[in-house]
Amino acid sequence: MVDLSQIDKNQKAFIKTIHAQHSLKKRLQSLGLSAGQEVQVVETSLQKNTIKIALGFSSVALRLDEAKTVEVELAS
């Protein structure tokens, strides 16, 4: 299983499932992280604690802990 915390910067991927607990999952979904959505890690903080991802028309920042709950599939 590959999750969002593992993919390289600028590597494109598609979201498969979100394994977060209920309220966090809802939040991620309403920020646009839904199954099938294309995502890309565009920026990481110094110690890679926090990452910025781009999806569609918006971008979202999250911690690595949260990124681990998002299962993705690398785009070929």
Partner 1 sequence: MKKITIALVGQPNVGKSHLANAISGSNLKIGNFAGVTVEKATAKLRTDDYAIEFIDLPGLYSLEDFSADEKVTKEFLKKGDYDLIVNVLDSTNLERNLMLTTELLELNKKIVLALNMDDEAVKEGININAQNMSKILSVPCIRVSSKTKYNIETLVDTIIDVHEKALIPSKLIYGSEVEDQLQTIARFLEEKHFTIEGLSYRQIAVGLLWQKREIYAIVHEHPLYVELQPILNNALGHVYMYCQCDEIDEVIHRQHAAFAKGLCTEVLSVSKIKAQSVTQKIDAVLIHKFLGLPIFVFLMWALFQLTFTLGQFPMDWIESGFGWLGETLGETIDNEALKSLIVDGIIAGVGSVLMFLPNIIILFLGIALLETTGYMSRAAFLLDGFFHKFGLHGKSFVPLVTGFGCSVPAYMAARTLKNKKDRLLTMFIIGFMSCGARLPVYVLFAGAFFDESIAGNVLFAIYIFGAILGLIAAKILRVTAFKGEDEPFVMEMPKYRLPSLKLLWFMVYSKSVLYLKKAGTFILLASMLIWFISSYPKNDVIEEEYGAKIEALQATQETQATDKEALTAQKDDTAQAQETAPSDDKVASAEADKEAPVADPKESAEEGTSVEDQIAALENEKHEKIMEQTYLGMAGKAVEPFFAPLGFDWKMGVATLSGLAAKEVIVSTLGVLYALGDEVSEDDASLRDIIKENISFASAMAFIVFVMVYLPCLAATAVFYKEAESLKHTVLLVLFTFATAWVLAFITYRVLLLFA
Could you list the residues that contact partner 1 (CB under 8 A)?
Answer: 20, 22-24, 26-32, 34, 42-47, 49-50, 52, 54, 56-63, 65-66
Q: How far is the CB of 24 from partner 1 (least distance, A)?
A: 5
Picking from 20, 18, 60, 55, the residue whose alpha carbon sits closest to that of residue 35 is 18
Picking from 1, 28, 25, 21, the residue whose alpha carbon sits closest to that of residue 13 is 1
Structure tokens belonging to residue 31: 């920020």
Residue 45 or 74: the one with the smaller Cβ distance to partner 1 is 45
Residue 16 or 32: the one with the smaller Cβ distance to partner 1 is 32
